[in-house]
Structure 1
Amino acid sequence: MSYLIDLADFLVKAIGASGYLGIFFLMFLESSIVPLPGEFVIPPAGYLAAVGKMNLWVVIIDGTLGSLAGALFNYYVSKTLGLKIVLKFSKIFRLEKALKKTVVFFEKHGAISVFVGRLLPTIRHLISIPAGLSKMRVFAFSLFTTLGAFIYTAGLALIGYFVGKNPDLLKYYTHRFSAGLIAFAVILIIGYIFYRRKYDK
């Protein structure tokens, strides 16, 4: 248990030393090339806001913008490479059929996919790739990415703000928060399915 306390202290000190620029950069990595969990970045910043060393709203906005920047990086890389080049590499792993289906799906349901994807673990790191391959409109992509990233970042920041550095409580509430996001995403998907059925008719 002592190593968890030491890790929490280290993260708080690291975030405090790097400041808002560090939060932005780490959340950029979290959304782009390095699957760094936001749970290691935002709650310590929320704690620093609680003790008066940072501003809670600036932490939330900074983290959200970092997530958006990282997502846009993946989006433009995927859009620039294009589907043909990515398909060549996907053939090595026999993923070309799944990738094609994903791109076709995004062309029809890109907005809800991006928003829901930003709420879900693991998927939030990858959701920008099919969006870029399908050449989703950058305004729509940015809007729904920002909305999803804001909810995710705000939730983690509030956990850190009210829970502090206690590793057990942080783990408990971040898990509950993740479960809540998954439940919310499921409700959104069900609602969207009913909406599409009614709209298509």
Structure 2
Amino acid sequence: MTETSPDTSWLSALLDWSVSLMDVIGPAGAGIAIALENLFPPLPSEVVLPMAGLAASTGSFTLFEALAWTTAGSIVGAFLLYGLGAWLGVDRLRRVAAKVPLLHPEDIDRTVAWFHRHGSVAVFFGRMIPIFRSLISIPAGVTRMPLWRFGLLTAAGSLIWNTVFVMAGFLLGESWHVVEQYVDIVQNVVIVAVALAVAWFLFARTRTLIEASRSRAEPADEPDRERVPAG
């Protein structure tokens, strides 16, 4: 269906393998590749999905099959990560946070409280944001979001994301790389935003710890007040 890239890196080999799945077992191969993409984010869905669309445009399988199987793969992969989150649970994460420098169990409590309020929106839109597409399933599992809600939101968000890229491959053919360029820009923006957020958190938490340490040390450093003689 496609020529093997001259790049012999492990990622290129993984992409070639995912494409070969579509050659061998049809649209089910695309579904398996997308399920693995959820578990292994370095396998980019914005490459696998257009290849499924390209295969559909050449008659290897239908467009409906491409969309159905890739969306099913997204749901399966998301539920596997949901299970990981459920296994971790709030109590285990609180114990881990208590042992990690600059983290507190209360950070987990605040995150869980936020997800209880905004989890539905986070899961739906998270399925359309690079990097977060996979990770958003873990807090959903940690907070034990109802399975029916998680499945419905995951299916809806994944269907939108998958349709965009499958249709890009279907309509643009070998020129689908044009879309990938824009996705790379969005992904870089997300990475920078996450890096800035982490840097700000570390700065704020370190400053708080330093100020708390100084406030505890100040009373001990103060000179003893002169005693007023009696009488």
Identity %: 30
Contact 1:15 1:41 in 2 (8 A): no
Q: In 1, are the aligned partners of 2:90 and 2:108 still within 8 Å (CA)?
A: no
The alpha carbon displacement at 1:27 in A equals 1.0
Higher relative CO (Cα under 8 Å, sequence separation at least 6) belongs to: 1
> Superposed, which structure 2 residues align to 1:155-194 within 5 Å?
155-166=164-175, 168-172=177-181, 174=183
Taking structure 1 as reference, are residues 54 and 73 closer, same or farther at Cα in structure 2, changes over 3 Å only? same
Unaligned 5+ segments in structure 1 are: 183-201
Aligned twin of 1:145? 154
Moved over 6 A (4+): none
- Normalising to structure 2: TM-score of the pair? 0.66
2:107 is the counterpart of 1:113: no
**Greater gyration radius:** 2
- Tell me if structure 2 keeps the 8 A contact 1:159–1:174: no
Which residue number corresponds to residue 94 of structure 2? Answer: 87
1:51 aligned to 2:58? Answer: yes
Would the aligned equivalents of 2:50 and 2:168 in 1 still touch at CA under 8 Å? yes
Q: 1:13 to 1:130 in 2, by over 3 A?
A: closer
Q: How far is 1:18 from its partner?
A: 4.1
Residues 163/132 of structure 1: CA separation in 2 closer, same or farther (3 Å cut): same
1:15 to 14, 17, 22: 22
Following superposition, the deviation at residue 12 of structure 1 comes to 4.8
Aligned residue in 1 for 2:143? 134
Which among 35, 42, 45 is matched to residue 49 of structure 2? 42
Partners of 2:6 and 2:25 lie apart in 1 by 18
The SS at the match of 1:69 is helix
Q: Deviations over 1:171-195 (max 9, x none)?
A: 346558x69xx9xxxxxxxxxxxxx
Match of 1:71? 78
Unaligned runs of 5+ in 2: 191-231
* Amino acid paired to 2:168: I
Shift in CA distance, 130/93, structure 1 to aligned 2, threshold 3 Å: farther
CA RMSD of aligned residues (A): 2.9
Say whether the 8 Å CA contact 2:123–2:150 is kept in structure 1.
yes
How many residue pairs are counted as aligned between the two chains? 177
More helix by share: 1
Cα distance, 1:92 vs. partner?
A: 3.0
In structure 2, which of residues 69, 74, 82 is the aligned counterpart of residue 62 of structure 1?
69
Is the 1:35–1:125 contact (alpha carbons within 8 Å) kept by the matching residues of 2? no
